[in-house]
Amino acid sequence: MAEHREHARVPVELKVVYARMNRFFADYTRNLSRGGAFVLSREPLPIGTRIALKLTLPSLGEPIALEGEVVRHGPEAEPGMGIRFAWVDERARAEFEALVGRLMRESLGPGVASALLGEPEAGRKP
């Protein structure tokens, strides 16, 4: 199956809380990118659903509030939903993208993260 994703992903399990029609859900991410996340869920929301969600990172005091849209469902072997983030504020997008970059460097190492993010490695000239 060909990869069509715009952004590199980092495998990371983060708690995500979201609501739909006065019902709250708490699940976990399988991976995260600058553009979205895959949320493991036995009850994925319908494709096209717009949701507000909060990601919890242990290193941050407060969860990160995000908005997104369900764009795909996972296979039966891995039930869940692909969420594409929607941004109304460019500053918030830039801050989140920097956070994902930091998570990638911590998880994958600076060389691999720089290659995935399309950035020159620290100490190397472009």
What per-residue confidence (pLDDT) applies to 126? 46
| Cβ–Cβ under 8 Å, residues 35 and 6 | yes
48 backbone φψ class: left, alpha, beta (φ>0; ψ -120 to 50): left
CATH number of 9-117: 2.40.10.220
For the chain, the domains span: 9-117
List the chain residues with pLDDT less than 50.
1-3, 123, 125-126
Q: How far apart are CA 90 and CA 121, in angstroms?
A: 25
Q: Quick check: pTM over 0.85?
A: no
Q: How far apart are CA 98 and CA 122, in angstroms?
A: 15
What per-residue confidence (pLDDT) applies to 6? 65
What per-residue confidence (pLDDT) applies to 4? 53
What per-residue confidence (pLDDT) applies to 109? 67
